[in-house]
Chains A and B, each alone.
Chain A
Amino acid sequence: MHLSVLTFIIALPLLTGIVILLLPMSEKKAPRLLALISSLIALALSVWAYARYDIPAGGYQFIQKVDWLPALGISYHVGVDGISLPLVLLAGIVTASGVAVSWNIEERPREFFSFLMFLAASVFGVFCSLDLFMLFFFFEMAVFPKYLMILIWGSPKTREYGAMKLTLYLFLGSVVALVGVLAMVFLSGANTFDMLALEKAGFAADFQRLWFPFVFFGFAVLGGLFPFHSWAPDGHVAAPTAVSMLLAGVEMKVGAFAALRAGIMLLPEGARYWAYVILALATVNVVYGALIALVQTDFKYVIGFSSVSHMGLVMIGFATLNREGLMGAGLQMFSHGVMTALFFAIVGMVYDRTHTREINRLGGLIKVMPMAAVGFIISGLVSMGMPGFSGFTAEFPVFMGAWRSAPIVAVVAVLGIIVTAGYILLVVRRVFFGELPENMTGIIENVSGLDKFTIGFLSLIMIALGLFPSLMVPLVNSGVDRILLILGGR
């Protein structure tokens, strides 16, 4: 039987997760080693797929389809296009980095790394799915490791609240989305979960307008769309570092991606009908998230709310329904994923050493952990859309697209850029510059070699994409071509 590389990418972390669970409890080092090796292989495979993807041919590639429940039209069906392939790569990057920065975790390493692998398998699964049932299966599969990891390894004060809130929100969102999905499958008479078939189903316009919001907004809850974003900051902050990285870096993209794939691409007429609502909500996201980030006193909350703000740009890009916007959104998903993973990694490093996340109690860290400071500043520059970094490559087309479809959106959302510069500079100034507090002088250690490597690795990706957009843009463009075709060549 022909096996797609994507099947390996999904199965590898899944199997690793199971193997780690089967290890004896006393085994402290094997879990992390297995997890690292497995995630590095997954990363290597996704890089291979990225390099081998045939851009001129476009469309879905590395396809594998195995019937599973033919009666219900359910099959194991994987494949990637120009939109999902960068996200597969992103998931590979963030998973490997997450394992690296969790290297010295002491509490139940066996379960920790096992669950982390399950989480990775689930996101790989969503990005590769071409079958709605399968997409849903992997989408839901992430809930358990997320919930447990926050509850067990999260920050003691808020972990129960954060985990509960996240789970409730996401369940609610996925139930709503599920209703929409089932409507598409059964009410329409299509009777298949195959997305390629559903794309061609030609749903009636009324039907699309009715069911689009179920699918789109249901999934967009995980994408952090206002006013369903509230789980995100609390969840990110409550989670342990590696989970924050995966949550904000990849899981939010899972939501946005599913909303695009199952919402906009299957119900294009519905998307056109609801585009202005999404634009309006997403614009609120951008400004609202940035404003709230500005007034947080907790270092991690700043980044939590900044994710809400940046995901707004992704949603704006989607809702422009034009080339510039969609392309920008595709790039922004990748760029923001790497950026926010680095942010959370550094927040974690700072917290591990200072045992506080209060901005006012930190200061002068550039002297003791210079590499972390530089990494944070680079992420900050990406975050504020500085040219030469990936953030600009992504945000610039989003604004072009927004201006084309609704200039007022661009005008309001651009305010988010000013505020973003404000909160980034304030945090950098308070936390990394200035005076090192008395009680921290002489006791703060520099970050470890593995941490430095991770920081350098993630920074390099963002700079490379900023200087050479053509590393990714043609690929994303080929994905956008397809979406535009579905939308009717606009």
Chain B
Amino acid sequence: MAIEKLLWLIPLPPLIAFVLISLGANRSRGLSHSLAVAGAGLSWLGSMFVFWKALQVKDLTGFPIISTINWLPMGAEWLKVGIRIDPLSAVTLFFVAWTILCIFIYSIGYHNYNAPAGVHDQPGLPPHGALHTSDEGKIIHVPSVEPMYARFFGLISLFAFAMYLLVISDNLLTLYIGWEIMGLCSYLLIGFWYAKPSARDAAVKAFLTTRVGDVFMLLGLAALYTSTGSLSYDVVFRPDVVVQLAAIPTGVFGLSLAGLSGLLLFIGTVGKSAQFPLHIWLPDAMEGPTPVSAMIHAATMVSAGVYLAVRAFPLISAGWTPGSPLTPPMMVLAVIGTFTAFFAASIAIAQNDIKRVLAYSTISQLGFMVAALGVGSYTAAVFHLFTHAFFKALLFLGAGSVIHGMEHGALAEDDPVDVQDMFHMGGLRKTMPLTFWTFSAGGLSLAGFPLLTAGFWSKDEILSGAFSGRFWVVFIVLAITALITAFYTARQITLTFLGTPRSQAAGHAQENKPIMTYPLVVLAVFAIGAGWIGIPAGFPLTGAHQAGWIITFLSPMNPLEGHSPEVFSSLPLVVSLVVSIGGLYLGWRVYRGYQAGQVDPVERALGPVFSLLKQKYYIDEVYSAIFIRPARWMAEIFTALWLDNRIIDGMVNGLSALMPALGSLLRNGFDKPVISNGGDALGNRLIHWGQILRKVQSGRIQQYMLYTLWVIVVSGMVVFYLMGRG
């Protein structure tokens, strides 16, 4: 089969799985997960084949694998949709396929396939556990199967379909379609346990926050389409088109059309990849089941955001050459990325929830990628996207494994602790060795443990990019952030796995079945090894003259290729080394002796700053103060009919809180009194006419006909009169 044809088929298996599960396969749990895993497996197989084929192409950038069809006719022109494999999509496809497959397989175990159904379990709530008679005749409390097991696999298949569609797309339209379907899936999956109010709020918050980014992205699409007549990458990102766009001023902040549309697309990334100030949804998104967190944080959503920014890089960097001052859009990326990286990392050190720490680390690492793009390090950004997907999927699934093991212990011992709180864990390395080793591999990679791990190489690439471009602020802040990252990772590993158990649940935690741990092993291999393909040229130990494979593979995609003299410098390397080892040591040293009931050592050290971090800089509260409170004040001035009710009740984020205020203002301050009552007043003034009208309204059609005729005749007379005058 021609490789192009095969490419079209890649996203389909998960879609078919979704349809079949929705249409009836959901009656059987086994059939549902078999379909889902088979779908993901087929897509994986296709992806690997395409990836391997793509490697054979000599100049994949110049001659990507493409195929297009007509989809939405826009007048004489068709909006074509098509598929495209170039180095960027090939690399993305690779990590997406692996992570999705691992997550799918893992989910079977996570949702307790084959476990008994819980007595009190009901759809919309996490399973509470079931009573089970063991072989010795003892009645024990065991985990129970997820009540909406099939539904989960259906939705997650749709999620996978959307991501595959987005990656292989050759144009911004299909990318946008995949993007939006993912938004929908994230809404449905974050709110999977919909009977939990926190899950419902988190789902709405995620959908609305990312939607804010999406509409700006849609405007970016409109700007590009109206100026170029196309949304295909081949057209809108082609160098000569970009040059033309860069020459058209827009009058908005002095940006060129290229810069403006690049920025509009980037706002989409800010929403999807949870960059400041639209980051607020991602930490709450862990209300969904853990495999969903892994999907969102690694395989799909946030990666898609950065992927778009990378795609849009030709527009963002239009008119820039290395050495010259950054273009305004690049400046925006550099500032937002660097700030977000530091800001989120600092929050992570004060969180107790094992998943929440990871959530903030995701935001922080995405900040690294955005900052890298901002300073023009194209390949470094993609490389980090690549390695991050593996180690973050691993970490989330590992955290899920820990939680699952803890739940087991909690149920067996009837110990009602919060099974996600790291301060109740400890000593798990003995009871859950495989989870420990794999989680540590992921953690070390996140911390950038030197030489061995993937995270080290990609992070070093970003730091050296900032360094060689002389962006000192970016370099220093990111280096400090890397130190913090290593610190909170060591804190997490030490609290969770080292020392002695600090709760009964932790003491009786149990290692999970192979169906959950084997995917961890696979991901761990990548979390370590995926970096070796990106060792820079001239690195002393390897003595390679050739830069790592991924760098040479990707760099032709960089619009600035040929301009940037990638000089190897040992300073950033040394810095990476020091911050990583230093942070890890510090974290281990501080937390290794932690005993149950003690105050968090960081809290002792930081004092009031700690509570600032713990409360996430009060951003949720600030948004509420900026948007919700003034809105309420306005409501009380204009009307107390409903607004307070609405605000307290349902407004989950600042923006949607501002809207009802405006809406009520319009309805009660303008629509009702001016327009509606204006209409009523008109009616009242015609009250004696109304008396006549009432007689007319006898319900007899003939009379109504007469009435119309009368109106026509009178109007006709008016016109004839006018005609006579004219």
Give residues in A with beta carbon < 8 Å to B. 140, 143-144, 147-148, 164-165, 168-169, 171, 174-175, 178-179, 182-183, 186-187, 227, 230-231, 234, 288, 290-295, 297, 323-324, 327, 360, 367, 381, 386-388, 392-393, 396-397, 399-400, 402-404, 407, 410-411, 414-415, 417-419, 421-422, 425-426, 429-430, 433-435, 469-470, 473-474, 477, 480
Contacts and interface: CB of A to CB of B under 8 A. Distances in A.
A292 B716 CA distance: 39
A283 to B, nearest CB: 14
A388 B181 contact: yes
Contacts of A164: 683
Given A292-B667, A323-B74, A403-B226, A178 B712 contact: yes
B73 A473 contact: yes
Interface in B617-670: 642-643, 646, 649-650, 655-656, 659-660, 662-664, 666-667
B702 to A, nearest CB: 10
A474 B73 CA distance: 7
A80 B195 CA distance: 51
Contact of B75 (A426, A430, A477): A477
Contacts of B719: 179, 182-183, 186-187
Contacts of A430: 650
Interface in B284-342: none
A292 B75 contact: no
Interface residues on B, range: 35 or more
B590 interface: no
B45 interface: no
Given A178-B715, A295-B646, A388-B181, A418 B208 contact: yes
Given A418-B211, A425-B207, A410 B222 contact: yes
B671 A168 contact: no
Contact of B659 (A140, A291, A435): A291
A60 to B, nearest CB: 20
Nearest to B122: A367
6 contacts: A292-B671, A387-B180, A414-B218, A433-B194, A473-B72, A473-B73
Given A386-B184, A425-B208, A434-B200, A291 B715 contact: no
A130 B654 CA distance: 51
A171 B180 contact: no
A148 B699 contact: yes
B200 A388 contact: no
A174 B711 CA distance: 10
Interface in B656-696: 656, 659-660, 662-664, 666-667, 671, 675-676, 679-680, 682-683
A168 B75 contact: no
A175 B643 CA distance: 39
A393 to B, nearest CB: 7
B208 A227 contact: no
Given A295-B664, A417-B215, A473-B72, A434 B711 contact: no
B642 A469 contact: no
A144 B701 contact: yes
Nearest to B683: A168
A400 B712 contact: no
Shortest 4 CB-CB distances between A and B: which pairs?
A291-B663, A387-B177, A403-B222, A182-B719
A294 B74 CA distance: 33
A397 B74 CA distance: 8
Contact of A140 (B177, B191, B225, B708): B708
Given A179-B719, A418-B215, 8 more contacts: A179-B715, A327-B75, A360-B649, A392-B180, A414-B215, A418-B655, A419-B656, A419-B659
B456 interface: no
Contacts of A419: 656, 659, 663
Nearest to A420: B211
A327 B212 CA distance: 26
A396 B181 CA distance: 15
Contact of B715 (A175, A227, A411): A175
A288 B477 CA distance: 44
Contacts of A183: 719, 722
B596 interface: no
B213 to A, nearest CB: 10
- Among A387, A402, A470, the most chain B Cβ lie within 10 Å of the Cβ of A387
A137 to B, nearest CB: 9
B200 A429 contact: yes
- Among B74, B718, B722, the most chain A Cβ lie within 10 Å of the Cβ of B74
Contacts of B208: 418, 421-422, 425
A93 B197 CA distance: 39
